Chain A
Amino acid sequence: MSPNSAPAQRRTPAPPPGTWLGMPAFPKAAREQLQRAEQRQNLARATTHIRGKRAERAAEVADWEELRTAAAQIKTRVARHLDTYLVQAEEAMTAAGITVHWARDAAEANRIVGEIALAKGVDEVVKIKSMVTQEIDLNEHLESIGVAAWETDLAELIVQLGHDRPSHILVPAIHRNRREVREIFAEEMGRYGTPAPPTMTDDPEELAEAARAHLRAKFLRAEMAVSGANFLIAETGTVVIVESEGNGRMCLTLPETLVSVIGIEKILPTVADLEVFLTLLPRSSTGERMNPYTSLWTGVTPGDGPQDLHVVLLDNGRTDVLADPEGRAALRCIRCSACLNICPVYERVGGHAYGSPYPGPIGAILNPQLRGVASEVDQALPYASSLCGACNDVCPVRIPFTDILVHLRHKVVEHKTEHHPTAEQAAFSAIGWVMADGRNLAKAQLASRAGGAVLGDRWLGNRVIGRLPLPIAGRWLRARDVDAPPAQTFRAWWAARTPAAPPVDGSADAATEDRA
């Protein structure tokens, strides 16, 4: 409990100041994050570990690739007929005793949840980890109307008590190590309830035990819970939540009132479809054969669990994603986090650089579609990728990330051109000139070759460029080591080793380029 319940006093730990969209855009944010050596090590260790587990568990399933195809097809079917499925899901839920609400945007969803809390007369709710309530910033809305929202997932608790933001969609505190977690628990738990035992070390078992004790009192007295959902079955109105710790089951079972905020894209057509997703999701996300607990409920069961059930169906930009036939595949996402864990960019910069609770490759394609490309943060996100395509290969619903990224880059450029042409576009037209014709490329390479000769022979004994006093490359090279440009271009090398080859700078080159 907060030490003082006067309205001016916060009931829950304050998050860091500012908003996601008020954060610096990716290039600047990434540079800041790269300075954090400890965080980078935490991330590298964690993502390496989880990548290995995912690969092992995927390899155990003989028809893994067929499952991925089926999952993509099922989700595509839902997206292309979403109106039909939404109406079917609403009917089934209503028949099962669930009160269904619709919310056009974050403010409307927050208002609905807040009104239910006030009508129930509760001053606190327990929460199951949910991406969608991060997206709409529900906790801060509840705080503003005097209702304390308590996160009960261990990682979310670490983030909440640490006055921090989540940096990963599955393990929101992935950027914290055990020593930091111990400090946060020792410092903060006592202010809001059962304190951490004074003897607690940084052993993860002891930290988990402290969380169990801290939250147990909150579970036992909770009158209202708020959740998201992993799946909503249109056929039956069944809501499905997967989890590990049992905090979810506590929230879904003990309180009298349960409100689930569900993005409209979470629908699956039938109960049978669960076999595809409950095989893919745990193996892709935590690298387990199955997550410890999965809860399915179909309306109210007299004498068992919450007797007052609500579902808030949330749009908040999803219909904008749906309206772009090339980008709508992003709505298939089941939030497994495999694309984050495999991403070389995410692994280095972490989740705080993406200006959204959805980081990594899925964040790069989802945020600029959910929010549009008007802000600097969202304009930068489609470029927060090297287009290496590793995410394409692990995604259990086969989202074509690289295609969507390129498509969104195009949209960003279009948006900018509409407003004012930039130096960037001048650079692109220069590249266009170079690439359009083999003779131009050869001229440009002549310049690069000269640079390579200078750098390779005179400047760098080891042929690796570290820091350079050059205006642009110097900045780029601060976090990287690269080879010096070669003194000979591939084209010159090829010409030299092929006796009949036409002269490097000659016009015959054009033929080669034409075929390309």
Chain B
Amino acid sequence: MTTARAEILARVRRALADVDEPDPVRDVPVDWEYGRPLSTADVVADLVEKIEDYGARIVRVPAAAVPDAIVAALTEMEASSVVLPPGLDGAWRAAIEAVAAVTADEPPLTASELNAVDAVVTAAAVAMADSGTIALDHGPDQGRRALSLVPDRHVCVVRVDQVVSAVPEGVARLAPAIRAGRPVTWISGGSATSDIELARVEGVHGPRQLYVVLAD
């Protein structure tokens, strides 16, 4: 009996009897130059504008003021319990511990335990200005995927040197992490739906509040 795999591949080859160039790249050239930056005048200002357009909060502060900015964010969102990724910056962690109950994710919290935590604070990997997108590659300062998903409030710290103009540059920067097998999550504003009469409603299952701290 032929396996499904063998049969499907045989069907595909039969269907493509008209293709006689074996090299895909030579057969169908793609007229596109990959990874080009967009010529945005002020990339960081563009990111701020686009993230605000999604209804998310974003503040820009000097690097030394990040711990204070995180504390201000947690206070503003009335978060009293926080979960932190294991590799988060020590100064940030110390500032957070002074104002909120920090739950350790060791051993890993269950989904229900995470659900009882008010907020999560993470770093980021890349931010793409033109679409207002932040990408996490879930490195040690960002934590496993569930951490930045289940708690209802997400404070995300982005360094300006992580900001690129648009998606093509962003994909190029993320490619090594993807090739290394790391999961990647793109976040553009808070969770939202337009499923009822296409009216946009902010906040469904993902964190309902996104607060971005942009560090110079």
A contact residues vs B (CB 8 Å cutoff):
42, 45-46, 49-50, 66-67, 69-70, 73-74, 76-78, 80-87, 96, 101-104, 108, 152-155, 158, 171, 173-174, 176-178, 181, 204-205, 207-208, 211-212, 215-216, 219-220, 233, 235-236, 238, 244-247, 249-250, 252-254, 264, 269, 271-272, 274-276, 278-279, 282, 286, 288-299, 301, 303-305, 313, 315, 319-320, 322-323, 325, 328
Contacts and interface: CB of A to CB of B under 8 A. Distances in A.
Nearest to B23: A81
Interface residues of B, number: 76
B179 A236 contact: yes
Contacts of A70: 30-32
A296 B4 contact: no
Contacts of A73: 28-32
7 contacts: A102-B5, A158-B195, A236-B181, A244-B194, A290-B128, A296-B183, A301-B138
Interface of B: 3-5, 7-9, 11-16, 18-19, 24-25, 27-32, 34-35, 50, 53-54, 108, 111-112, 115, 128, 130-133, 138, 144-146, 149-150, 166-168, 170-172, 175, 178-179, 181-199, 201, 203-207
A272 B31 contact: no
B9 A86 contact: yes
Given A215-B205, A247-B205, A292 B24 contact: no
A292 B187 contact: yes
B18 A211 contact: no
A292 B189 contact: yes
Given A289-B50, A303-B108, A272 B195 contact: no
A298 B182 CA distance: 7
Given A70-B30, A303-B144, A244 B178 contact: no
A249 B114 CA distance: 15
A102 B5 CA distance: 5
A293 B178 contact: no
A96 B181 CA distance: 7
B125 to A, nearest CB: 12
B185 A294 contact: yes
B18 A253 contact: no
B145 A86 contact: no
A87 to B, nearest CB: 7
Contacts of B15: 319-320, 322-323, 328
A295 B183 contact: yes
A272 B175 contact: yes
A367 to B, nearest CB: 18
A217 to B, nearest CB: 10
A236 to B, nearest CB: 6
B192 A292 contact: yes
